[in-house]
């Protein structure tokens, strides 16, 4: 008699790869009856995977159309490494898949943006740093103020023009999008190349002074302070309590 682990492996293989992997000695019912039940179960799982993609990428689906989205989704979920993914993370690699399918840059960007939005939504809670928190500090205390990237912060560098599905961000395509979640509301912030360069330095900046130093490398003091204000007002920073 096969072990439980072996039986589970063969059962999963049948669900993923079809009747050719049917475990003959696993079910009491006839082969035809067992296959009928397995087919229904496999269809339910396949449908759940496709629904998970639709829910992760509603704007992308509207951008490329239902038929194209559905065809790409079916090919995506049929990959061996996706078949074993947890349903919560099944959509994570979709943008890379679209790139392999020679989709245009705007489409790939939109997939990356929607996944970043979902990551931001699922991230840990933290109180965003506000300008009021540092307004009364002396210069030395301000420069030494400990900071960290807010857990919800995400950056997406754009390779193409913005999708019409993001028309609310304006007609001009930014260099990058910053996604932040101050006070539970997820917001998109178009960034210039300089603003993006400063935002990328947040994780390696232990203090506001460190981050300001990076900003000063890109311009004069007035411009550097403007970049800092943009990041703080967007909710990109939190006080490092560690």
pLDDT score recorded for residue 134: 97
Tokens matching residue 11 = 């059962």
Looking from the CA of 151 toward its CB, the CA atoms found within 13 Å total 9
pLDDT score recorded for residue 172: 84
Tokens matching residue 45 = 């799982």
pTM of the model: 0.81
Q: Give me the domains of the chain, ranges plus CATH numbers.
A: 1-103 (no CATH), 123-242 (3.90.930)
CA 87, CA 49: separation in Å to the nearest integer?
A: 7
CA 237, CA 137: separation in Å to the nearest integer?
A: 17
pLDDT score recorded for residue 37: 52
Q: For 185-236, what is each residue's pLDDT tens digit?
A: 899 999 999 999 999 999 999 999 999 999 999 989 999 999 999 999 999 9
Tokens matching residue 48 = 């759940």
pLDDT score recorded for residue 40: 47
Q: Are 131 and 233 in contact (CB under 8 A)?
A: yes
CA 187, CA 184: separation in Å to the nearest integer?
A: 10
Consecutive 10-residue averages of pLDDT for the chain (242 residues): 57 55 56 53 70 95 97 93 85 96 97 97 95 96 97 97 94 92 91 96 97 94 95 97 80
Q: Are 202 and 147 in contact (CB under 8 A)?
A: yes
């Amino acid at each position: 008699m096969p072990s439980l682990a072996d039986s589970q492996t063969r059962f999963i293989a049948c669900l993923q790869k079809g009747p050719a992997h049917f475990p003959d000695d696993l079910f009491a019912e006839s082969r035809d009856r067992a296959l009928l039940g397995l087919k229904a179960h496999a269809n339910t799982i396949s449908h759940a995977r496709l629904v998970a993609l639709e829910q992760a990428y509603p704007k992308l689906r509207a951008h490329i159309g239902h038929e194209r989205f559905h065809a790409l989704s079916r090919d995506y979920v049929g990959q061996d490494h996706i078949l074993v993914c947890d349903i919560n993370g099944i959509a994570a690699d979709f943008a890379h898949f679209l790139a392999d399918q020679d989709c245009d840059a705007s489409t790939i960007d939109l997939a990356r943006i929607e996944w970043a939005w979902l990551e931001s939504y699922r991230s840990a809670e933290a109180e965003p740093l506000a300008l009021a928190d540092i307004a009364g500090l002396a210069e030395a205390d301000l420069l030494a103020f400990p900071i960290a990237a807010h857990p919800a912060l995400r950056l997406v560098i754009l390779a193409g023009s913005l999708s019409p599905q993001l028309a609310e961000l304006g007609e001009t395509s930014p260099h990058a999008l910053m996604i932040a979640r101050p006070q539970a509301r997820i917001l998109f912030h178009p960034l210039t190349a300089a603003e993006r360069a400063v935002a990328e330095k947040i994780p390696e900046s232990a203090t506001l002074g460190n981050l300001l130093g990076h900003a000063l490398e890109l311009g004069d003091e007035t411009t550097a302070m403007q970049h800092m204000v943009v990041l703080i007002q967007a909710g990109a920073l939190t006080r490092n309590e560690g």
